[in-house]
Amino acid sequence: MKQLRLNIIDKKETIHNEVSTRFAESLLASLTAEPEDILELAEALARFIQPISGQSPFAEFKSGTCFEPYDDGVFVVDLAARIVAGNSTEVETGSEKGFHAGPYDGEEDAYLPYRPSDDWLFVSSIDEYNKLREERRQERTEKAPFDARPV
């Protein structure tokens, strides 16, 4: 299974690590839960990847960013700007995608389609992300997001 470098950014924290492409696919599907921070993203990811005895799926991640490609590429998931940037030969991105979930040994997996909200912008390069991130963060700061979860 191929790996890639994954960067996750929220308003207060930035982390990165090398992960399997399956982990990256599950993480992208987790965006359908509309997480606002890394803790909420970890909770949403638990729907797709069973946590190991209460440990965060990001426990091994390092602080800061690293945009150097690793094996199959590099990804950035910026929760504050609602941007997913990166490239990979194995991970699909965009408005209507899916992934194969199931045992890592490949037996009896299932195709799970997902569709992130229109708030998410998918771009194919880190350069494009760098050009857009500040503007998108400013837009989101000015417009308080509707949070239907308490209802």
Best CA proximity match to 10, nearest among 57, 55, 60, 76: 76
Cα separation, 75 vs 22, in Å, equals 13
What's the burial of 90, exposed, middle or buried (CB within 10 Å: 0-12/13-18/19+)? Answer: middle
pLDDT, residue 95, reads 56
Q: What is the pLDDT of residues 100-149, one digit of tens each?
A: 666 555 566 777 788 889 999 999 999 999 999 999 999 988 886 666 66
Let me know: does 79 contact 10? Beta carbons within 8 Å. yes
Helices and strands (H and E) in the chain: how many: 3, 8
Cα separation, 134 vs 136, in Å, equals 5
